[in-house]
Structure 1
Amino acid sequence: MMTKSLNRRRTDGDATRERLLEAGGELFAADGYATTTAKAVAARAEVSLSLIHYYFGSREGLYQAVLIEAHRRLVDLDDLRRIAESSLSATAKLRAMIGGLVRQATRRQLGWHIHVLAKEVFAPSGHFPVLFQAEVIAKLSIVKQILSDITAIPADDPALVRCVVSVVAPCTMLLLGARGAPGPLDQTRRMPRKVVITHLHSFAIAGLGAIASEHGRRDQVPSR
Structure 2
Amino acid sequence: MQKKTATRASRQDGDATRQALLDVAGQVFAERGFADATSKDICARAGTNIAAVNYHFGSRGALYEAVLVEAHHHLLKLEDMQEIAARDLAPHDKLRMILRGIVLRATGPDAHWGARVVIRELMAPTEHAPALVHKAIAPKATVMLGLVCEIIGLPPTTPGLQRALFFLMSPCLALLVAPREMRSKLFPALGDDAEGLVDDMMTYASAGLDAIAAKYSASPRPRGG
The TM-score, its normalising length taken from structure 1, stands at 0.92
Find the residue that maps to 1:215 and give its secondary structure: helix
Shift of 1:157: 1.8
The alignment of Structure 1 onto Structure 2 pairs a total of residues equal to 218
Residues 106 and 34 from structure 1, CA distance in 2 versus in 1: closer, same or farther, beyond 3 angstroms?
same
Residues 85 and 178 from structure 1, CA distance in 2 versus in 1: closer, same or farther, beyond 3 angstroms?
farther
Instruction: State the AA in 2 paired with 1:51.
Output: A
Residues 138 and 131 from structure 1, CA distance in 2 versus in 1: closer, same or farther, beyond 3 angstroms?
same
Find the residue that maps to 2:192 and give its secondary structure: coil
RMSD: 1.7
**Residue 69 of structure 2 contacts residue 135 of structure 2 at CA under 8 Å; is this kept in 1?**
yes
Instruction: State the AA in 2 paired with 1:76.
Output: K
Unaligned runs of 5+ in 1: 219-224
**Residue 102 of structure 1 contacts residue 171 of structure 1 at CA under 8 Å; is this kept in 2?**
yes
Larger radius of gyration: 2
CA deviations over 1:143-176 (Å, ceiling 9, x no partner): 0010000000111222211011000000110111
Alignment of 1:88 onto 2:119: no
Paired with 2:181 and 2:27, the residues of 1 have a C-alpha distance of: 17
Alignment of 1:35 onto 2:36: yes
CA deviations over 1:170-218 (Å, ceiling 9, x no partner): 0110111255445777534322011100111111110000000001269
Paired with 1:86 and 1:182, the residues of 2 have a C-alpha distance of: 34
Runs of 4+ in 1 over 4 A off after TM superposition: 182-186
CA deviations over 1:32-78 (Å, ceiling 9, x no partner): 11111111000010101101001111111110000010011111111
Instruction: State the AA in 1 paired with 2:81.
Output: L
**Residue 184 of structure 2 contacts residue 190 of structure 2 at CA under 8 Å; is this kept in 1?**
no
Find the residue that maps to 1:48 and give its secondary structure: coil
Where does residue 8 of structure 1 map in the other structure? Answer: 9
Where does residue 27 of structure 2 map in the other structure? Answer: 26
Where does residue 109 of structure 1 map in the other structure? Answer: 110
Structure 1, 23-32 or 181-190: larger mean CA deviation = 181-190
The TM-score, its normalising length taken from structure 2, stands at 0.92
